Structure 1
Amino acid sequence: MLDFNMSEMMVVAIVALLVIGPKDLPKAMRFVGCWVGRARGVARQFRSGFDSMVREAELAEMEKKWAEENARIMREHPSEPDQPPVTSDPVALPAPDESGDQPPVTVERPAIHDDPAPPADPVTADPKAQS
């Protein structure tokens, strides 16, 4: 950025001390520091705005690529509505009604045992203990 070495900084400090004077120099330094802080804030805000625009542009580009890839895949592998749905169950589906709708399929509910098996008695369960 700005390349100041120590000798140049000393020259600027001596000139500021002579021109402004020792009494008003702290006020002048505070004023300059405030403006430098504001300039940094504006630069930070500009940079964050620029970064967000770049991110949005990259996101739009990626969405476009994803849409093109999705369209290509759909062209290569079109869905065929005439084929029955693929199921992992080898049982055939029931025939449709006259209206063309599939009849409801009933599924047997699995048996759920509320009472767990009582724990085995360690004395009777051990064959060595019975002999």
Structure 2
Amino acid sequence: MLDFNAPEFLVVAIVALIVIGPKDLPKAMRFLGKWVGRARGVARQFRSGFDSMVREAELAEMEKQWAAENERIMREHPVPSLPAPQPDHFAAEDAPPVTVEQPELFEVTPEIEPAAKLRRVRKPKAQTLANPGEDAAE
């Protein structure tokens, strides 16, 4: 990759300061940082895609090896065939279908309605001492 040491970085910084100018240098650094971040994101996405393809290829190779090993083991140690299943003697074709008991149904009683909400009674406003006759005039 790129290898910058301190003197080279210092030369690049001085050239950038002269070419861009001290006024626009912060804008340029933000712009450069944004593009470097995007480039790193693209590189990270490419690397993760490449790693997943390698993992899938390794997994497919392992599955082929497992299938070949399984085939070899099955050839060396064959499984004896099982006898054919016998017909069920308990389920005759002419037998009536089995019925299931119906569950008992209980009557649901309605819930008792909750008591009506009690309203809070406001206390009457007390007359102020400054204007005791004000309410009486109204």
**Shorter-chain TM-score: what band?**
0.5 to 0.7
- Measured in 2, the distance between the counterparts of 1:80 and 1:32 equals 72
Matched, 1:68 2:68: yes
- Measured in 2, the distance between the counterparts of 1:27 and 1:63 equals 54
Unaligned runs of 5+ in 1: 85-98, 105-131
Q: Which amino acid aligns with 1:52?
A: S
- Measured in 2, the distance between the counterparts of 1:103 and 1:13 equals 90
- Measured in 1, the distance between the counterparts of 2:23 and 2:85 equals 96
TM-aligned CA distance change 1:56 to 1:100, over 3 Å:
closer
| Deviation beyond 3 Å, 4+ runs, structure 1 | none
How far 1:33 sits from its partner (Å)? 0.3
Partner of 1:116: none
- Measured in 1, the distance between the counterparts of 2:42 and 2:35 equals 11
Which structure dedicates a bigger proportion of its chain to helix?
A: 1
Partner of 1:101: 86
* Aligned residue pairs, count: 89
Larger Cα-atom Rg:
2
Partner of 1:47: 47
- Measured in 2, the distance between the counterparts of 1:3 and 1:12 equals 13
- Measured in 1, the distance between the counterparts of 2:81 and 2:16 equals 84
TM-aligned CA distance change 1:100 to 1:61, over 3 Å:
closer
Partner of 1:81: 81
Alpha carbon RMSD of aligned pairs, Å? 2.1
How far 1:102 sits from its partner (Å)? 7.6
- Measured in 2, the distance between the counterparts of 1:56 and 1:33 equals 34
Matched, 1:5 2:5: yes
Unaligned runs of 5+ in 2: 90-138
